[in-house]
Chains A and B, each alone.
Chain A
Amino acid sequence: MITCRNITLNKSGKTILNKVNFTAQPGEITVLMGKNGSGKTSLLRCISGAYPKFDGEVLFNKQNFSCLSALQKSQIIGIMPQTLPQPAVTVEQLVSFGRRPYTGYSGRLSSLDKEKIQYAMEKTGIVQHQQDLVCHLSGGERQIAFFAMLLAQETPVVLLDEPTANLDAPYRQRVFAFLQDLQKAGKTVITTLHSLEDAVQIGSRIWVMDNGKMIFQGTAEEFITGGQPEKTFGLRPVRVFTEEEGSFTVFRPL
């Protein structure tokens, strides 16, 4: 369980986050939404420790995050940034980086580490690319390779910043399937998304941010019925029923 208390972040005299409070539960996918510049990525960075200086507290199971070392934090929180690098390492090497928090000073992989790396590659279906360089993969394959690394890291909390940006529909569905697997495994998943359809499809809970403030926290149903799409995004929810897919919600301009 991740709890944030009064997170306030100021940069160059501008308030980026303003007393943000929340608790994200294990076994839930929390979708963080908001317009560009509303503070979503900054909030994720405060939680992950990428921004070391901010006011407020981040607690993991009542333990203050600021008291933990970088290595301890890396065993609790795994992240996937919005812009992924294109390193000239093989997929297998990349996934093995996920075991770095457990390998000690030498970075030597144990047989257990190797098993977990193999499992992560098989689970994500990237095993056939294991000897390919990450920089030579397509955008979707690269995203999956980084997912495998995240899986190998085995952290109870996973933070993802726009994991489906620039992905086509099949890859997006694969990413959602991974998120749901993480949820079933009892992990605390927090992800930012821009698509409201995707958010209500996979989110157990939805948070909405505006101008650095948390303006809504609730379930997908509460989000749809509470008027948030209209107020914040200028969109109205429309319930659609098809025989193949059943009932789902799409959003249309007001």
Chain B
Amino acid sequence: MRKKKTAVIFSLLFLLLAGSLLAGLLLGSADFRPEDLWDGLFGTKKNPSVSLIVLDLRLPRVIGALFAGGGLAVAGLLLQTATNNDLCSPNVIGVNAGAGFAVMLLLCLFPMAYPFLPAAAFAGAMCTTMTVLGLSFSKRQIYARTTVILAGVAVAALFNAGISFLSQLYPEALSSYASFSAGGFSGEDKEDLPWPCAMILIGILCAWLLSSRLNLLCLGDELAQSLGVRVRLVRFLSLVLSSLLCAAVVSYAGLLGFAGLIVPHIARRLLGQDIRILVPFCAFAGGLLVILSDLAARTLFAPSELPAGILMAGLGAPFFLYLLIRRKKDGV
């Protein structure tokens, strides 16, 4: 019965994903019909403008959104499982603040160094999360759940203060930083994608390999350990993988938020708690959510477009409040 339900949900997800991928390629400031797309790309009436719009502009966006959503959703799932806190999301361990600070610093010190923004964002995100993990390390309780979250909040507050400070000193860097912090896929270059996407793919595969052990963390450290799980190692690996996934996404998509919060929740509601099933679901459903957000961001007010990150925040913030209210009702 449960297997049948899982199969139906995954089939629906793949159908929706295929539809959204196609819509992502067809819709925008200039809409195409499917046959125009086929003819323009492969048929007898090859059209260079179709090829330019679809292959050079929309395909990188759609692929970027697919991987970004998948990466963030799996990162959120890993974090929520490792910290046993369903309100946890990648922002909480300071990824966005760290990446944002590194980008702001680069823009202030080397205003012409645009090509290095993705590298700076990645380095900032990784350094911050490693600092958070370092602060959470204690001999008695390694990577304790609350300590990781509190250290993340403290470090994020510090970096946000740093960003505000830099923006006072270098107001000219603020406009470039604003587009990065809003998050989105406008002007996504296909040259920027291979490395982050490869990293995201590897991260998701590693998360899936870890999933049978992660399943047991819901029993608490003592019981999980008695069932052969090296709890500290699994928790450490989850946090590192989560940081890696987020850093890879931030490096090309900017500070997208909330996919890591919303998708794991929906996944748990639909499919239960088995992380082995939740990892692939989150990978595809996260991609679907971000593709649809990006599609809405560029079609709702076409020909002008909103950053996808703003739409995601518009969806995510009410969802976060809904979770808080539900927890209050459940007495959690």
Footprint of B on A, CB under 8 Å? 45, 48-50, 70-71, 73-75, 77-79, 81, 85, 87-90, 93, 97-98, 100-101, 103, 105-107, 153
Contacts and interface: CB of A to CB of B under 8 A. Distances in A.
A75 B226 CA distance: 9
Nearest to B217: A87
A100 B227 contact: yes
B246 to A, nearest CB: 25
11 contacts: A50-B221, A50-B222, A79-B223, A81-B223, A93-B274, A97-B219, A97-B227, A98-B227, A100-B216, A107-B211, A153-B227
B314 interface: no
B225 A89 contact: no
Nearest to B232: A52
B218 A79 contact: no
Contact of A100 (B220, B228, B230, B272): B228
B105 to A, nearest CB: 41
Nearest to A153: B227
B273 interface: yes
Contacts of B222: 45, 48, 50, 79, 81
A105 B212 CA distance: 8
User: By DSSP majority rule, is chain B's interface helix, strand, loop, or mixed?
Assistant: helix
Interface string B221-259: 111011111100000000000000000000000000000
A73 B227 CA distance: 8
B215 interface: yes
A75 B213 CA distance: 16
Interface in B199-217: 209, 211-213, 215-216
B145 interface: no
Which 6 pairs from chain A and chain B are nearest by CB? A107-B212, A74-B228, A87-B218, A71-B228, A79-B226, A101-B228
A93 B273 contact: yes
Contacts of B221: 50
Contact of A48 (B220, B226, B230): B226
B276 interface: yes
Contacts of A71: 228
A97 B212 CA distance: 9
Contact of B226 (A74, A85, A107): A74
B8 to A, nearest CB: 18
